[in-house]
Chains A and B, each alone.
Chain A
Amino acid sequence: MQMTTMRLREALRAAMVEEMERDPEVFLLGEEVGHYQGAYKVTEGMLARFGARRVIDTPIAESGFAGLAIGAAMVGMRPIVEFMTWNFSAVAFDQIINNAAKLRQMSGGQLKVPIVFRAPNGSARQVGSQHSHAMEHFYAHVPGLKCIAPATPADAYGMLKTAIRDDDPVLLFESETLYSLSGDVPDDPSFTVPFGVARVAREGKDVSLISYSRAVHTCLEAAEQLAKAGVDAEVIDLRSLRPLDEAALVAAVSKTHRAVVVHEGWPYGGVGAELVDRVQRLAFDQLDAPVLRVCFLDVPMPYNAALERLVIPQVDRVIEAVKSVTYAR
């Protein structure tokens, strides 16, 4: 397949531009998506290309414009809502969990809500406790929402396209730290990536590092270092949190018999806790060690750079967890 190398923000933009050209019902709205070209320049050039009717700058009123977009989706349009960050979606939480997630069920299938919410998620660099939330843990809890968190430009491109074409609400969790990541993206407007299918980011036989989004790259780096110490780590990139690829979890643990789950966000009741449940329940006989998690430490994110580094999952913490599950210490 012909490939083009692009940054992840360009891959997201390409997906939106192609879908807006393909389907006139698709439109974009959010704070600074138009004249300012996007807070993280994801939407650069889109206002000039599609005009102010399809690339809409909104006031700072997340609940209002999220609700407006859900209404548009109910009557047949396919909105893409960009929040400046997922932290600010807290203001629109009610719209997302009570309207977007519920209307199809409550209307007995008469309504559908084909909408995409997307924004950077998780920690960035010293943006403080209120702007460092890993919001996927809140939303992945909710039936009726699909939650995806790609780690590469190709997956960002292919999954955003799948999201826009999906008839249910899809929440795309991006990472500010990955927007400039370069990677090969198929040169094919028909390329999409299905939900619920994990990707083996690195083959290995001694331990499975199960992760998504930014933490996949932490795991890959840890795997490189572990290889030097003779430990062959596999890295599973879930890509999709709901639906979740249970078969991939079972296959990984059936091969390596040890697993470490790595993600941003707190440990209590998060996506990682769900993954541990699935693994122990579906592959109990395959486990040679308890499944461990490497997450945010269980505190609000510190502003101080040194303390922030301690809270965010780092390579050294992943390696420590691998040593523990391989009984190497």
Chain B
Amino acid sequence: MAKLLDMPKLSPTMEEGQIAAWHKKVGDAVEVDDLLAEVETDKATMEFRAFDRGTLLAILAPAGSVVKLGQGVAIVGAPGEDVSAVAAPAVHAAAPAATPAAAPAATPAAAPVATAPSPLPAATPGRVRASPYVRLLARERGLDLSRVTGTGPSGRIVARDLAAAPAPVVAAPAAGGRRVPLSMMRKAIARRLTESKQTVPHFYLKIDVDAGPLAALRAQLVADLAAAAPKGEEPEKLSVNDLILRAVALALARVPECNARFDGDSVTYFDSVDLSVAVAVADGLVTPVVRGADQKGVLAIAREVRSLAALARAKKLSPEQMSGGTFSVSNLGMYGVDEFAAVINPPEGAILAVGRVRDEPVVRDGLVVAGKRLAMTLSCDHRVIDGAVGAAFLAELRAVVEHPTRILLS
């Protein structure tokens, strides 16, 4: 009996997935655990592997289509098996079917952009055939190629066919500019941060600490790492942020009330400090998690952050590596930002926004001398953290950052 394969849940928070690429084509034999497709989720590009063996009889969602969880994407069964009975519900569940590209009397449906593919008329190929340039134009203009009739070989959509293409669903900006459809990551950012700002009662606490000792310690450590590096090898890197992550972990261990999250009818306080670290990537940002940061030395944290950031930029983070944090740190110091306030990353109870180390005149022993300052802003979920608790955490953090050998000792 042919079986309909649904869009699986490939990340804890995904609600829909975009088929990035199919690795099997119709007619291919499928073994259990074979890679069927890659799916772009809200977090990363994930592998979609087969649970059943058989033959891939149909692809219902060609590469590029966005499919809701549980909606059919392919059919697996015995070779030659009739798939109409299985295919029907998928078609039913889908948005209005696109007209097959080759049909002469194509009438574009008036519905929103069809994210679901055609049903299974025998003559319709499983994917839209279009030149790379056409795909570029379609991305830029927000065109739905499944509704364009291709006049090239085998129905390939070529540039001239776009002259007759239906207008994008949302008009391009009138005075220049360009319209970029949301990637899965942007959708996730839009949804989760809107939800956070609308439902989490934020309040903000700012401290401005003496960063002179921290900067001096880092300079010393960088020099020592360079001296300790084996000949011909790059010395290990250590950033201000790595030191701050460790300081945050120590402060949270002292004030565990800030290492917490709101669960509706309860608050969970965590034993382990699992730090979500905001990493900017090409199309947005992700927050890989450094687990047990209170139990790790600063070098171990530095290495882990660097490795996670590299994975993030390659879109190779697993959902596990991006979920389950207990507290977030976002640092825009490397972009020259003095200070800022961050949006809480639910369900975590707080996020620390770290600015740059500033050179500033400071008063020391009654004299104005050159000093270094660092501003940090804590955004708290008031349902979890009260002002006095947040202040206690920041006082601990200030104590560690201003006496940074504690970062190394503890």
Selecting from A5-13, A188-196, A286-294, the interface stretch reads A286-294
Answer whether residue A284 sits at the interface, using C-beta atoms and an 8 A cutoff: yes
A257 touches B (CB below 8 Å): yes
Task: Decide if B159 touches A257 in the complex (CB within 8 Å).
Answer: yes
Tell whether A285 is near chain B: CB-to-CB under 8 Å.
yes
Contact A284 B158 (CB under 8 A): no
Chain A residues, CB < 8 A from B133: 257, 285-288
Contact with B along A249-284 (1 / 0, CB 8 A): 000000001000000000000000000000000001
Number of A-B contacts (CB under 8 A): 27
Whether B136 pairs with A289 at a CB distance below 8 angstroms is no
A284 partner residues in chain B, CB cutoff 8 A: 132
Q: How far is the CB of B138 from chain A (nearest CB, A)?
A: 11
Report B21-36 residues with CB < 8 Å from chain A CB. none
The minimal Cβ–Cβ distance linking A89 to chain B, given in whole angstroms, is 40
Return A231 CB to nearest CB of chain B, in Å: 12
- Do B135 and A288 have beta carbons less than 8 Å apart? no
A288-B158, A288-B159 known; A327 and B132 CB under 8 Å? no
Using C-beta atoms within 8 Å of the partner chain, give the interface range for chain A.
under 10
> Which parts of A21-68 form the interface with B (CB within 8 Å)?
none
Residue numbers in B under 8 Å from A289 (CB-CB): 131, 152, 158
Bound-complex Cα distance A327 to B152 (A)? 6
Bound Cα distance from A287 to B136, whole angstroms? 9
Q: Is the interface of A mostly helix, strand, loop or mixed?
A: loop
A286 contacts across to B, CB distance below 8 A:
132-133, 136
Which residue of B has the minimal Cβ distance to A280? B132
B139 CB → nearest A CB, Å: 9
Residue B318 is within 8 A (CB to CB) of chain A in the complex: no
Interface: B98 (CB within 8 A)? no
Q: How does the 8 Å CB contact mask read for B148-174 relative to A, with 1 for contact and 0 for none?
A: 000111000011100000000000000
| Beta-carbon nearest neighbor of B133 in chain A | A288
Q: How far is the CA of A288 from the CA of B162 in the complex (A)?
A: 12
A-B contact pairs, 19 of them (CB 8 A): A257-B133, A257-B159, A285-B133, A285-B135, A285-B136, A286-B133, A286-B136, A287-B131, A287-B132, A287-B133, A288-B131, A288-B158, A288-B159, A289-B131, A289-B158, A327-B151, A327-B152, A327-B153, A327-B158
Lowest 8 A-B CB distances belong to which pairs? A288-B133, A285-B136, A288-B159, A288-B131, A257-B133, A287-B132, A285-B132, A284-B132
